[in-house]
Amino acid sequence: MDQLGTLCLLSAAAVCLGGMLSGSLFLWIIAASLAIGGMAAHLLSPHVEARRLVRQARLLAALGRLREALGCVNRAIALVPDVMSAFVVRSALYAGMGQLDMAVDDAEHAVRLAPRHPEARLARARMYSRYGLHEDAIQDLQIGLRERPDWADGYLEVAYLYVRLQDYQNTLNTLHSLEKHVRATPSRYEALLLAGWVYEEKLQDLEQALGAYSRAIPLRPERRVGYARRAAVYTARGDRLQAAEDWLKAAHCIPAEEERGKAHWLRAACYGKRFALTREQGDLQHWLRALELSACEDSDQYARLARTMLRLMVNPQEFTFPPRVMHYPN
């Protein structure tokens, strides 16, 4: 951008000289346009570089390279001291490093720079939440939601905060608002899973939980967790056949990215839960095979669990209990 600005200014000078020699008004207009473009390019250059550094910092942070990310964002702030996103990212980095006072300061500064921006409000809300100030966090997020009614992350953050406050009706109201205003499928899926969990675990309403999970599954039929949660509800209702069918569907799901290192173990858990319902030899064989793969291919934690389970299954007389319930986080 600096090179472009310099080129525009040099070109403007050349055209201006030509205009002086020829007396052409047209050349004067071109020279003025090039000069304005050159000055604009010079003015924009630091902002462009600062935004690039912030994007790079986000990527480095996602890879866990927090120190390198901090260096990038510090350079961005040195270039342009009023880039709100840089303070948001640095707040998260400081929080990840355990430097909470500095994280709070940056979150506060981000809000001062952009008082209604959802990203700034989210940064401060997360700081409030760390200190147990959940109501204050909700107020910040609601300001962001008024600014951007389709802000999926804002609705989900508010819903989880209401769960912490044990205000389950407002949790459900918030998730309903997300469904009404947000089109993104992953966010709608997560909202329905959370609603189902609230109905199932907190309100003991299995019918509403079943409805929420049943609406979630068609949104992302490739995901395991929806089937697993619905299967648990079917089991609680005594619908063994439907629960067994959902455990089979869960077992057949292609592993998601977050299941890396435990995919075979989760598949084994699904077949184990199905075997507890059906007692069919085919399900037992699939369960054993998944455990064998887990013992060889999953991460150490899950491989050890698989080997322990296989040892217990060597003697059928000793193995008379169903597999332990697997918990799938929202």
Nearest to 122 by CA among 157, 164, 152: 157
Condensed to tens digits (0 to 9), the pLDDT of residues 198-251 reads: 999 999 999 999 999 999 999 999 999 999 999 999 999 999 999 999 999 999
Q: Which residues have CB under 8 Å from 184's CB, separation 6+?
A: 152
CA distances in angstroms from 18 to 6, 15, 21, 36, listed in the order given: 19, 5, 5, 18
Q: How many other C-beta atoms can be found within 10 angstroms of the C-beta atom of residue 53?
A: 24
Q: What is the pLDDT of residue 31?
A: 41
Q: Which residues have CB under 8 Å from 250's CB, separation 6+?
A: 224, 227, 228, 231, 270
Q: What is the pLDDT of residue 50?
A: 84
| pLDDT at position 108 over 90 | yes
Average pLDDT score over residue span 93-102: 92
Dist CA 190 CA 118 (whole Å) = 20
| pLDDT at position 3 over 60 | no
> Is 227:246 a contact under the CB 8 Å cutoff?
yes
Q: What is the pTM of this model?
A: 0.78
Dist CA 248 CA 299 (whole Å) = 23
CA 102 to chain centre: 24
Dist CA 134 CA 140 (whole Å) = 10
Condensed to tens digits (0 to 9), the pLDDT of residues 27-72 reads: 444 444 544 544 444 444 777 888 888 899 899 888 889 899 999 9
Half-sphere exposure of 125 toward its Cβ, with a 13 Å CA cutoff?
28
